[in-house]
Amino acid sequence: MTENKQNKSVPGICLSWDEVRKELPAINGDEELFKRVWEDNEALSYMYIWHLVLSF
């Protein structure tokens, strides 16, 4: 049997901060600020995608 990979993403975002943080170099500032901006942009992207899906 093959194992199913559990999708642990939160509703309302495409890529979680934890996934993206692993790919970024060291942050020399307020990481919470980066996280908040990332999550705000992700929420807008998610909303845009759903708007396209539901409008057409």
- Whole-angstrom distance, CA of residue 9 vs CA of residue 7: 6
Question: In the prediction, which pLDDT does 56 show?
Answer: 78
pLDDT(3) > 60: no
Question: In the prediction, which pLDDT does 1 show?
Answer: 46
Stretch 21-44: mean pLDDT: 93
Judge whether 39 and 17 are in contact, CB under 8 Å. Answer: yes
- pTM for this predicted structure: 0.69
pLDDT(31) > 60: yes
- Whole-angstrom distance, CA of residue 55 vs CA of residue 2: 37
Stretch 18-43: mean pLDDT: 92
Kindly report the backbone phi and psi dihedral angles of residue 55, in degrees, each rounded to the nearest multiple of 5, phi listed first: -85, -25
